[in-house]
Every structure is written in structure tokens, then in C-alpha cells.
Chain A
């Protein structure tokens, strides 16, 4: 006899179950997937989800980081440490190599390297023959993402065609590709920033230290805090202040800004996230402010 179960999963359990399901669909449908791991909080969640999906087995994919060479050293160290703890293979492909090959041409040496990641990513996809890249993008981050599929098809030039996406119905995901094409799979599409922090708290996940409040020299510019680093030195006339800050997102140094914060624990960050008044990308991304469509444009060019 079938039975009536009134019990339902909590929202975090539901999101976790959906993400595990998506990861297993990638493993079941794709011949040669890879998980993009940057050391950032979203991809840290992906690793825990992959453990829940595949342990006691090994992950059916390696991890890969597209290294701009402009990452905070704490994050790079964390990346290597986490991969080693998991005993999974980590591939690092560097923008420096693409620059040396001449496939990335910088307008100026200190230019943001964020958008150039697409070139190195596409080169790595070709080098290893990956047919799927699992990423930690979320639909609440940005409005072009809000319309992207969970299994998002890219043609052989890595391009996303937002007007011609595969319909995605029920939980019947279609990750099929021909040679040279690939799928970008986003298991935490339906998570918000708050969900991510709640999951980090519940699962007790370790994070790079720069996610927590620390004191750092910054310059206030256009309403953002610009960290003063070797790559982003203070210019004449800049007022450098020592400010208590944390990063809400850890991308390329040249385009990721911290926010003022005293939150030195996940619990405090959760409270701040629930009471914040500015979106994650708005507070922290210098590259998304250029135009309303800049993420959509980057994605059409092969971005994550």
C-alpha cells in the first residue's frame, strides 16, 4: 500500500537534495565533466554537495581553477589545502599562460582580468576535452543568470545564446552535447546568498580567512571600498584608511571589493546577510556596474 507522507524537507534539505540530483545527472550523462573550484564560498558548498553525492566513492570529475594570477594568497592556499584534504585531483590553468601564448591581450598590465578568464577556461576545456563544467553560479546573483538554465548549453565557441536555450522541464535535465560543445551545470542555481551562508553554518564548512572581518587598507571610490594591494596601489591624492572589512565574494583582486563589517563568524555574517541592503554583486563587483547587460555580454563570450 502506498502511504501519505505529510512530512516535507526543510528548505535547506530540499536545496541540498536538488543540487545532489543535478551533480549526479552530470556524472550520469556526461563523459568528461569538471568541477570549477575557486576557493570561494559557492564552490566550497559545491564540494560538500559532491561529497554527499558521491562518497564513499571518488568524485567522478576533477576540480579545476582558472587562476587569474590576481587572487588573494589566502584563497589560493585554501584552494590547494581543500583539494588535498578531499584527495581529489586539482587542475590549475593560468591566465599568465594564455597571456604568454598571446591568446589574451591586455590593454594595460593592471587591467581587471576577470573577463579574460573565459579565454583560459575555453582553452582548458579544449585541452582536456571537457563536455561539462560544474559551476557555483546562482540565479539570484544577476538578472542574466536568472534566465539561465541549470544545464546551460554552450556551442563550440563556448557561447551562450540566451534567446535559444533548451527548454528545461520537471527535473529532466538534458546535458547531451556533440563533440566540442559543452554544458555549464549550475547545481545551486536556486540558492540565494542567504541559503549559502545557512548551508555553510549547518555543514560547518571551513572558509578562506578573508571572508571574515579583518583590518585592511582601503580607498573609498564610487561607493565601494577598493583594497590597497600591490596590484591596486593607492594613487596620488587617494586617502588610504584602515577599515574593518570582510569579503562577500572572493574574485579577482582588481575587481572585487570588501564591505565594512565586524562579522568575524558565520553566525554574525548570517545576521548581516539577512539585514543587508545591497546585493552581493552590487556591493562587491566593480565589473558589473559598467552596464546593465555586462554579465549577459560576458556569458555570451564564454564566461562561467
Chain B
């Protein structure tokens, strides 16, 4: 952020994206390059990296050192946990979720992918499509990231050879078709030299497509590509009865975030699970009133009727109701060192609602490298499986493929309160 033009003027909102690749694909170098060329890395950070690079006996500044946050990571020279990085171009703000590439970190990749709308998958131009490329692509697709960018990196090491790039593209497309991944774009690049990241460079003249940053700048924001139903899980109910202000005596505000869709004053709504109907009387943020609210906006809804509503309820448009269900088919990623037990009861968090749940059946476990299905009696950390769950009370769910907010849930182990599973409803 060292140019005045980086002060956001035209605000193209915010894009969250994921970078995935393995240790040697140059992922950290790519992130370093993005931050460096958008002038986000500041002088003292750079000098700290210079010192570390020298200490490790490196001759050039290693931009990848930017992304190693924890002591253990620096000691082992690997990335253990998801790191979040930020940069802004002046028109858009970006949140990068940087996920480690190793197989044992599937859970981190799923975590990082859960909030991303675009994924950059790094491929080493010398090595082409690898097992881990497939794994990363599959996971990104599974977690519902709509846009994939395959960055064929290290083009400098194959003499910027177009045929190498085309070969990798053909290989990848064949495999993407198997998975049903619809939108993939390919860029040849050298993150090390900065070609096709922010600047075009002079060595890839045969490539006429957009740079990586141009793709990021024009990528559609979440929630803008297809129609969505209005979903408003209630987080908190505001009843300031003790107030001296008589106007507030009957104030009942239902506070939450519009997870999807939009709502306007006058819309007919239904409250779940009670099924009571009413009309939106007012939409507020703090003391201000709004005529309508859109996806991702945190607001307070006031209804025309006095209805009992509490945290865990969901307000929806009467014309767009989700399924109330106590039986859920889901893809489950197991996140805990303690294996999943079908004998145990877990707490399932879906939006703001918590219900007791049991995994009634593990239908199959998926091998994320071969995509083969196999039987499983329990699930270990990083396993992904198709499961059937039984719930003690209903949740108001959409299919994950249609709505990432109301199709997702987590499982919590009440003995430790740890988050142990991440599920996507089929």
C-alpha cells in the first residue's frame, strides 16, 4: 500500500480467494509477489525477510518467508496452518487464505476453501498435473468454490515454452471434465520473476490472456451469479424493555446477517420452526433505517406482528421456504485427531442453530487422490466421507450446492468443545 492511488476510489467490494499448492510449487513466492507488486509489503517487513534469508544462507530475498507465521513453521520450514493475508488494489480488497499443501492438511485446505470464492491452484511447469493437483482441485470443487485458476508456475525453468503450458492445460481439462468442474482458467507465469502475476513481463508474449491480477479484479463476487433465496438465521433478539424511552417498550428486533438473497420492507416472511407468518415492518442497522438489505449484510428486522422468535430460528420469505429436516445426507470432512465414532452423539451447528446429532451410517470414504469410494467403520482426521446423520430436532437446510451458508454445518465434540467435523448437505 505505498501509492496514493491505492486509496480505494471505485469500490469493487471484496474478494476472498484461496491459494493451494505443495511445498515446491512456489505458492508462497506467488503470494509474496502479489503483495510485493501491489506494494503491500512494507519496508520493515521486507528488511526482516532479508535478514531471515541471509540467516538461512540464501542469496536472494525469499518472498516465501512472508507467509510463515509460527515459530514451529519457521523451524521446520513448512506451513502448518492457514494464514490470512490482505492486499488492496485501489478498486478491490482481497483476503487470501493460504492453505498448506501436504496431504495431512486436508482439513486446513477445507477450512481455507470454505470462505473462498476463487481458488488459485499452482502447478509446477516442469512437473505438470500431479496427484496433489487433483486433490486440491477436487477439494476446492467439493467445498463449492465456483472459480478455479490454474497457475502454471516456474515457466522460467522451462524456457517459457508454450508447448509445455498447452500440454498441462490439456491434461488438466481432461481431469476437470471428470469432476464436473465448470469454470477453469489457465495462466503461464513465473512468480519468481513476476511474469503474468501483476505485470505481464516480456517473456510470455505468446500468451494473450489476462494476468492473474486482471482475473482477480474481474472475478464475480460471491452471491452475484445466480438467484438466491432469502435466509436470515436469528443470532440475537433485542428487547430493551428496561429503557426509559416508552417508544422502545415494545421494541423487538431480530438481529442477524442476511446469509443469502435479499429482503425489503413489506415482504411477507415466515419464521421457522414455528411457521408463524408476518411482514417486515422495518430494517435497521444501529439507529438507521434501510428500505432493503442484501446478502452478507448484518441488520435488525422488525416485524408487524408480535411473534416469539429466538436465537436459532430462521426468518425466510414465505414464498421461498427451505426444507425442515431431521435426516441429513452430507459430505463430511473429519477434522479431529479423535476418530469419528458412530456410537457417539455430537452437537451439530447449522447457521445459528444447535442440535444433537448422530452419524447413522458412513456410506463410503473417499480417497481424495484417486476419488475411489471405499468402506469405512470410523473416520480419521483428514478423511472425507459420505454420511447419513440423524438429528434430534430439525434444521432448515438447503443443498450445499445451492447455498453455501445454509447447506453447511460443523460438528462439535461436547467433551472438549472442539470443532471436529465439517459437513456439506447433499
A275 near B419 with CB under 8 A, answer: no
Nearest residue, chain A, Cβ from B68: A143
Q: Which residues on A sit within 8 Å (CB–CB) of B125?
A: none
A190 near B74 with CB under 8 A, answer: no
Q: Which of B1, B8, B238 contacts A57 (CB 8 A)?
A: B238
Alpha-carbon distance between A270 and B227 when the two chains are bound, in angstroms: 38
B298 near A20 with CB under 8 A, answer: yes
Given A168-B419, A174-B419, A4:B298 Cβ within 8 A: no
> Which residues of A248-298 have CB atoms within 8 Å of chain B's CB atoms?
270-271, 273-279, 282-283, 292-293, 296
Tell whether B185 is near chain A: CB-to-CB under 8 Å. no
Alpha-carbon distance between A28 and B88 when the two chains are bound, in angstroms: 33
B70 near A163 with CB under 8 A, answer: yes
Nearest residue, chain A, Cβ from B311: A28
Given A177-B417, A270-B7, A282:B42 Cβ within 8 A: yes
B408 near A170 with CB under 8 A, answer: yes
Which segment of A10-18, A112-120, A210-218 sits at the interface? A10-18
Tell whether B45 is near chain A: CB-to-CB under 8 Å. yes
A13 near B286 with CB under 8 A, answer: no
Given A276-B42, A292-B74, A56:B287 Cβ within 8 A: yes
B69 near A169 with CB under 8 A, answer: no
Tell whether B248 is near chain A: CB-to-CB under 8 Å. yes
Tell whether B14 is near chain A: CB-to-CB under 8 Å. yes
Query: What is the minimal beta-carbon distance from A46 to any residue of chain B, in angstroms?
Result: 14
Alpha-carbon distance between A55 and B300 when the two chains are bound, in angstroms: 9
Nearest residue, chain B, Cβ from A295: B69
Taken residue by residue from 146 to 168, chain A's Cβ proximity to chain B (1 for < 8 Å, 0 otherwise) reads as: 11000001000000001101111
Query: What is the minimal beta-carbon distance from B145 to any residue of chain A, in angstroms?
Result: 12
Tell whether B320 is near chain A: CB-to-CB under 8 Å. yes
Tell whether A144 is near chain B: CB-to-CB under 8 Å. yes
Which 5 pairs across A and B sit closest by C-beta, in order of nearness? A282-B44, A20-B298, A52-B286, A11-B93, A143-B69
Q: Which residues on B sit within 8 Å (CB–CB) of A168?
A: 111, 419
Given A2-B229, A56-B248, A275:B3 Cβ within 8 A: yes
Taken residue by residue from 260 to 292, chain B's Cβ proximity to chain A (1 for < 8 Å, 0 otherwise) reads as: 011000000000000000000000011100000
Nearest residue, chain B, Cβ from A280: B42
Query: What is the minimal beta-carbon distance from A52 to any residue of chain B, in angstroms?
Result: 4
Which segment of B162-170, B250-258, B386-394 sits at the interface? B250-258
A178 near B417 with CB under 8 A, answer: yes
Beyond A190-B84, A278-B43, list 19 extra A-B contacts (CB 8 Å).
A2-B227, A2-B229, A11-B11, A24-B236, A24-B256, A27-B236, A28-B311, A56-B253, A143-B69, A146-B85, A153-B417, A162-B72, A163-B72, A167-B107, A170-B114, A192-B86, A274-B4, A276-B42, A296-B70
Q: Which residues on A sit within 8 Å (CB–CB) of B286?
A: 51-53, 55
Tell whether B52 is near chain A: CB-to-CB under 8 Å. yes
